[in-house]
Structure 1
Amino acid sequence: MITWLMNSKPNAAPLSVGAYLERAAVLFIAFVLLYQVWIFLHICWWVKFNPSSSAFMEDRLEIIQENRPDAELKYKWVDYEKISNHLKRAVIASEDAKFLDHEGFDWDGIQKAYEKNLKKGKIVAGGSTISQQLAKNLFLSTKRTPWRKGQEAIITIMLENVMSKRRILEIYLNVIEWGNGVFGAEAAARHYYKTSAAGLSKGQAARLAAMIPNPRFYDKHQYTRYLNRRTGTIQARMHMVPVP
């Protein structure tokens, strides 16, 4: 491939700058397409088989191990049926009320988040759906790069077209961060309430859902005024939320 790019055949005429750029562009496009295929194959595999980790988990573990080399994440996969319906309803009510209706993107939510951020002069709302958050958690690093939002959108489309809403929610509840080194519903339930994901009460589920936007902060500050208020709001909405 390098030989093709450099045109290093004996007696070959040197390539022009334009030819170099053209060949480099072809290689870049080929790499991007292969990366999309790699992601798509993983998503197809995860329709039937559970992911053992995620990009976010690996990033967080690397950071934690800088100070504690022997540290491990708190994480245990549990099947959909072993997760409290209270938690499913609470998370949908908190993060993505239109989860069952949209195809990966809540355009009204994105518009409202944009207007809110514009008014505040900084990013205070995201507007990302559960599917978008899952795409980011599974494949993308925590670093903000210009291409990340575009890649997130592509992965979201793949998830929505390959997986059922039930499977998307199941994986989401098992891989999202819920505290410093705490990932997934089972680990969160045991970390905060000494119970299983199946045993979470309505109030406990609502509080866990309220923590999702800033889990490491709320791991240390579990009873702030805002968190208490947000928990009450989520709990009041839960009875209206259908689950897949």
Structure 2
Amino acid sequence: MDEPIVDPETERLAMAPKRRRRSRAATGLWFRRAVTAAILLALLPVVLTFVYLAPFVHPVSTLMLKDLATFSGYDRRWVPLEDIAPVLAHSVIMSEDGQFCSHHGIDLGELKVVLDDALAGEATRGASTIPMQTVKNLYLWNGRSVVRKALELPLAVYFDIVMPKWRIMEIYLNIAEWAPNVYGIEAAAQHHFGVPASRLTPRQAALLAVTLPNPAARDPARPGPGLKRLANTIQRRAARSGGYVRCLQ
């Protein structure tokens, strides 16, 4: 018996709906996987924040992970808050986030000033609080980005709700970058001044605090005139910090 003659064009048209269904199924599968991955990624900071509540857990920052991934290495020596000179924490608060003890992750007053300046077309200053900087260091990335800031704000509020203020400060001081590949105040104190964090003087603490916004360009051990002036201001404020640092006392 002769085999039926199949027209290639007819066969192609008959197979087209099957190919479209397979294509839609594959697209749907990848979409579901992408959504699942995004949800898991979003939940990671939520879970890790609870893990970081434990004092024996010593978190690392995304910058530290980058240094490991690029084989740069880093120096970080974790120390509990009680082994850090109080004047250092007071200096950091007065330099970085004066309302640290009273706000809930975001300084709404500072944020309003920044938004007003932006709407008026004026140059804006930073309004990052210590919780905002901590969640950025722990979970996000560096650089100016609207997306990063949009993630940073709710994370900072959540972090401040879950985490006691003393633990936020302890984590921040132990993951902040104080020089290229130097993280945490113990490594910073040893690197810049050759002393442990527990023995930092008010002057050294002020110089380290004003280094934080730009540790790649500022050297507290060899401060220029501008850095000295900033440190003078922070040293005076730290000496009169009083109620501004009550949550750490």
Structure 1 partner of 2:215: 215
Cα deviation for residue 189 of structure 1 reads 0.6
Amino acid at match of 1:147: V
- Matched with 1:55 is 62
Q: Which residue identity does 1:76 align to in structure 2?
A: R
Taking only aligned residues, the RMSD between alpha carbons, in angstroms, comes to: 2.9
Aligned: 1:88 with 2:81:
no
Is the 2:59–2:138 Cα contact (8 Å) retained in structure 1?
A: no
Tell whether 2:207 aligns with 1:181: no
Letter in 2 for 1:217: A
Q: Do structure 1's residue 35 and structure 2's residue 38 form an aligned pair?
A: no
* Partner in structure 1 of residue 245 of structure 2: 242
Unaligned runs of 5+ in 2: 1-16
1:105 match: secondary structure: coil
Q: Which deviates further from its counterpart, 110-119 or 166-175?
A: 110-119
Deviations 1:99-122 (A, max 9, x none): 010000012212334556678965
Q: Which amino acid aligns with 2:150?
A: G
Bigger radius of gyration among the two? 2
Give the distance between the partners of 1:11 and 1:118, measured in 2 at CA: 54
User: How far off is 1:92 after superposition?
Assistant: 0.2
Contiguous gaps of at least 5 residues in structure 1: 1-9
Q: Note the C-alpha offset of 1:40.
A: 1.2
Give the letter aligned to residue 21 of structure 2: P
TM superposition shift of 1:222: 3.0
Larger mean CA deviation between 107-116 and 222-231 belongs to 107-116
Aligned to 2:13: none
TM-score when normalising by structure 1: 0.81
Equivalence map 1:38-117=2 (5 Å) = 38-48=44-54, 49-62=56-69, 69=71, 71-114=72-115
Distance 1:27 1:150 in 2: 24
TM-score (norm 2): 0.79
SS at match of 1:178: strand
**Aligned sequence identity (%):** 32
